[in-house]
């Protein structure tokens, strides 16, 4: 998928949302994930979601499939996912409209993005990973991510607003 380009460090990168989430990204925050029916919505036209597999293996009930469009579907009691970063503004607006608890992984820079300020000021709690999360391509973990991501949590009743793992 290379129809758009994203800019980073003065270089153009092809738009590519097809990155899977390494299992440890969810295992590391197990204690903070609400014990409710999870919707992992982001796997449109994708054969696998490592998030779904991992969360199921951790014992959670997880809904989600490859024909659901996030913008036209509403399932489960809590959203736990790794959204496509290229449309994060639209995703944040939709999360606001759904108004259900969520934990989503997004770049740390998203915190100062206009949509977050507009919809979630004073309502977001964050979890900072121990180390930079490296995403997976075709089951291989490529250690080349040049930006940090954090967990954005809404209505999850975390014990503190900022948690450093
Ligand atoms: C960062 S990947 C996460 C993949 C997988 N859910 C995981 O965590 O391993 C984001 C995924 O969202 C999918 N996606 C893009 N637009 C979508 C939409 N409107 N509804 C649902 N999924 C979408 C992309 O195809 C991509 O597979």
- Cα 9 to the chain's mean position, in Å? 23
From ligand 1's centre to the CA of 82, what distance in Å? 7
What is the structure's pLDDT at 10?
52
- The b/e string for 92-123 (b: 16+ C-beta within 10 A; e otherwise) is bebbeebebbbbbbbeeebeeeebbeebeeee
Q: What is the mean pLDDT of residues 15-40?
A: 95
More reliable by pLDDT, 59 or 45: 59
In angstroms, the CA 159 to CA 162 distance is 9
For atom 9 of ligand 1, which residue has the closest CA? 20
Question: What are the extents of the domains in the chain?
Answer: 3-164
Architecture label for domain 3-164: 3-Layer(aba) Sandwich (3.40)
In angstroms, the CA 83 to CA 104 distance is 7
Roughly how many angstroms between the first and final C-alpha of the chain, as a whole number?
Answer: 34
From ligand 1's centre to the CA of 87, what distance in Å? 10
In angstroms, the CA 95 to CA 130 distance is 26
Asked whether 83 and 106 are in contact (CB, 8 A), the reply is yes
Ligand 1, pocket residues at CB < 6 Å? 17-21, 40-46, 49-51, 69-71, 82, 84
pTM of the complete model? 0.91
The per-residue pLDDT of the chain, averaged, comes to: 90
From ligand 1's centre to the CA of 18, what distance in Å? 7
**pLDDT at 2 exceeding the cut of 50:** no
Tell whether the torsion through CA atoms of 165, 108, 5 and 89 is positive or negative.
positive
From ligand 1's centre to the CA of 44, what distance in Å? 6
């Amino acid at each position: 998928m290379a129809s758009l380009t994203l800019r980073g460090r003065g270089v153009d990168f092809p738009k590519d949302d097809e990155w899977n989430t390494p299992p440890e990204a969810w295992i590391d925050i197990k204690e903070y994930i609400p014990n409710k029916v999870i919707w992992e919505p982001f796997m449109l036209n994708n054969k696998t979601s490592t998030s779904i597999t991992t969360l199921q293996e951790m014992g959670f009930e997880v809904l989600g499939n490859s024909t659901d469009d996030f913008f036209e579907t509403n399932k489960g009691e809590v959203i736990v996912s790794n959204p496509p970063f290229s449309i994060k503004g639209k995703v944040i607006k939709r999360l606001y409209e759904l108004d259900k608890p969520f934990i989503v992984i997004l770049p740390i820079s998203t915190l100062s993005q206009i949509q977050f300020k507009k919809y979630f000021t004073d309502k977001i709690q964050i979890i900072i990973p121990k180390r930079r999360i490296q995403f997976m391509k075709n089951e291989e973990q490529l250690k080349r991510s040049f930006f940090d991501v954090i967990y954005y949590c809404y209505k999850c009743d975390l014990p503190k607003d900022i948690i450093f793992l």
